[in-house]
Amino acid sequence: MAIVSEIHNDLLLELPTILKDSGIKAMIVPQESAAMIARPQVEEICDRERIEVVFPKPFCDLHLEPQDDKPLVQRFIAEFGIGRPEERVEVDRRGRMAHVAVLRSAPCGSTWFVAKQLEGIEVEDKRELHDRISESHHSYPCTASREKDRELGDTILHRAGYIIRAAVEAVLL
């Protein structure tokens, strides 16, 4: 497994062949900046070289859909417990978050930081919940760019914030 981040397109295009010669069978290429990368060409080369490849944008969106046939990437996510955040929330009798357990963390570790900031928040107060998630996420050194990304129509940093908010809301529904 190789995690390849923020390298020039010319190098990225040559890397799959080099990795294959080194015995590497999977590649994660996080897209943390708005710079355009040679994704279609890299996918084509990796397919030819039989190297699994994923391009999470941002890195905390590392996940696979059920139909994706990428066992090495899936194993990486499962064994290291990193990728798209997943949490478990315990709510006390007063309707406040008593404990937020991180089941899968964003690769940068922000999920742990945000989880700690949520303890004591009233689960029914969506505004306070969203504000606390946003404040916590912006207080953590997220590696995602603040540049507007043409593909997303927003900043990659904001996308990362939406991902952690969705993870919390998913367990509160």
Q: Which residue has the tokens 């406040």?
A: 96
Q: How confident is the model at residue 34 (pLDDT cuts 50, 70, 90)?
A: confident
| Model pLDDT, residue 37 | 80
DSSP secondary structure string for all residues of 114-155: HHHHHTT-BTT-HHHHHHHHHHHHHHS---S--SEETTTTEE
d(CA 71, CA 95): 40
CA torsion 28→31→35→38, rounded to 10°?
30
Residue range 156-169: average pLDDT? 95
User: In Å, what is the CA distance from 41 to each residue of 22, 45, 80, 99?
Assistant: 21, 6, 28, 45
Q: How confident is the model at residue 52 (pLDDT cuts 50, 70, 90)?
A: very high
d(CA 42, CA 11): 11
Q: Which amino acid belongs to residue 45? A: I
Q: How confident is the model at residue 158 (pLDDT cuts 50, 70, 90)?
A: very high
Say if residue 130's pLDDT is above 90. yes
Say if residue 70's pLDDT is above 90. yes
Say if residue 36's pLDDT is above 90. no
| Model pLDDT, residue 67 | 82
